[in-house]
Every structure is written in structure tokens, then in C-alpha cells.
Amino acid sequence: MEVLVFGQLTDITGSTSLQLPTVASSDELREMLHTQFPSLKSITYLIAINKKIAKQNMVIDQHAEIALLPPFSGG
């Protein structure tokens, strides 16, 4: 399962693209990310699945496009 990583989140993940074991939902993904990258627990970011922002738990299907985005402020 590929997860695209944007912005300053790459300081934590070390890469703009992560290969992670397949999970079935955004909650499971969040838990896995927080285990692998504990710093993510305390910062603001969103999980997007197939172009939708996961405000609540969302199903992740086999070919889902998954991305992590932080807020941007620069201008």
C-alpha cells in the first residue's frame, strides 16, 4: 500500500512516499502511522483517501490513493 506524504511531514516520515502493509480503514492507518512515527501523534495533518478527507473513519479499498497532508502557511 502506497501512502504519499506532503509538506513538512516528510521530516518525520523521511520520504515523500511510504510503502506500508495493507490496512482496511483510515483509523487503522492512523494507528499504524503513530506506532511507526510517534511524532505524528502530536501534530496536525489530514489523511485523504481517494481525494476525500477522512474526517471520520473511512474504508481503504485495494486501489485507494492515500495521502497525508499538513497545513501550509508560507507565502
Using the rule CB under 8 A, which residue among 21, 51, 62, 63 binds another protein?
A: 51
| Residues 49 and 64: beta-carbon distance below 8 Å | yes
Q: How far is the CB of 43 from another protein (least distance, A)?
A: 5
Q: How many residues bind to another protein according to rule CB under 8 A?
A: 24
Using the rule CB under 8 A, which residue among 55, 61, 62, 63 binds another protein?
A: 55
- Binding to another protein by residue 15, rule CB under 8 A? no
N-to-C CA span, the chain? 33
User: What is d(CA 64, CA 43) in angstroms, rounded to the nearest whole number?
Assistant: 24
User: What is d(CA 46, CA 14) in angstroms, rounded to the nearest whole number?
Assistant: 17
Q: Which residues of this chain interact with another protein, rule CB under 8 A? A: 4, 6-8, 16, 39, 41-44, 46, 48, 51-53, 55, 67, 69-75
